[in-house]
Amino acid sequence: MKIAIAQIKSALGAFEDNLDKHLEYINKARERKSDLVIFPELSLTGYSLKDITSEVAVRADDPRLTPLIEASKKIDIVVGLVEESDEFLYYNAAFYLSRGRILHAHRKLYLPTYGMFEEGRHFATGRSLLAFQTRFGRIGILICEDAWHSICPLLLTLKGSLFIINVANGTARGMSGTGRIKSARVWERMNTFYAVNHSVFFIFANRVGVEDGVSFWGGSEIIDPFGEPIAKASNTDEELLLCDIDIDIARRARVRSPLLRDERIDFALREFETLFRSEGAGGIDG
């Protein structure tokens, strides 16, 4: 299996221009014999949408998605967009397209609304987290902030994921004494931890460029189940990052460290129930 990450700059609010760039990168990925190409969070719209969120939203049957759905007959595609529901709610979503249809849609579960982030003002909150079957095995998708809540990768692993795809708009914040971007270093540590702890391929698809005064640090990467970075993109440039995947590595990792086998779902359920009851009664000490 060959995976391609399309680490791109998206133009804010310019759906058609972004669509053209997607088709260009999809063609490049096909030329390089890729089986799956992954775009970053909100890749079709840009990130800092604010009041134009509804203007760039699409529904699953929107004809503007037809070129991507047609392209998915030859290569699987993960794309980020704003999804409009039947209730006229707007979701930060990622679609997995395969064989001419939308195989899976993930709606972002955790919307950062602190500091520089305002997602909770413009997006509705997703309600479910599913692993889904593809021709390569079971896959789970997270969107950026979802990965900062460790229950999400755990749930996807327990639901059978061999691959966890995290599409992101990771912002460049802080510099270390060595000239490294601090936020990038934190992401890299977290990606590696999830890959090792859950014995999965952790695929991080980030964007680059500057938008509305905010810089995005790129650094897309694929970490194997032993925690080894097997593909790494630039921190500054658009590129198509390619990586061959040997799924047998996941088997070897799970044989060596059978953490998934030993996971205690019954124990976790009891503890969550105790916590839920305690909070309902006024807190842990209530």
**Maximum average pLDDT range among 31-45, 103-117, 266-280:** 31-45
- pLDDT at 191 > cutoff 60: yes
Q: Which domains does the chain show, CATH number per domain?
A: 2-258 (3.60.110.10)
Residue with more model confidence, 41 or 213: 41
**pTM given for the model:** 0.93
pLDDT tens by residue, 21-60: 999 999 999 999 999 999 999 999 999 999 999 999 999 9
Supply the pLDDT for residue 51.
93
Residue 51 near residue 79, CB atoms below 8 Å: no
- pLDDT at 280 > cutoff 70: no
Name the percent of the chain lying above pLDDT 90.
86
Residue 111 near residue 145, CB atoms below 8 Å: yes
Beta strands in the chain (DSSP E): 2-7, 36-38, 76-84, 90-98, 101-107, 131-134, 137-143, 163-167, 201-205, 208-211, 214-217, 221-223, 229-232, 239-244
Supply the pLDDT for residue 95.
98
- pLDDT at 111 > cutoff 50: yes
CA-closest candidate to residue 219, choices 37, 40, 34, 11: 40
Instruction: Pick the range with the lowest mean pLDDT from 45-54, 139-148, 170-179.
Output: 170-179
Supply the pLDDT for residue 116.
80
Mean pLDDT of 143-170: 97
Residue 27 near residue 244, CB atoms below 8 Å: no
Supply the pLDDT for residue 67.
98
Beta strands in 14-75 (DSSP E): 36-38
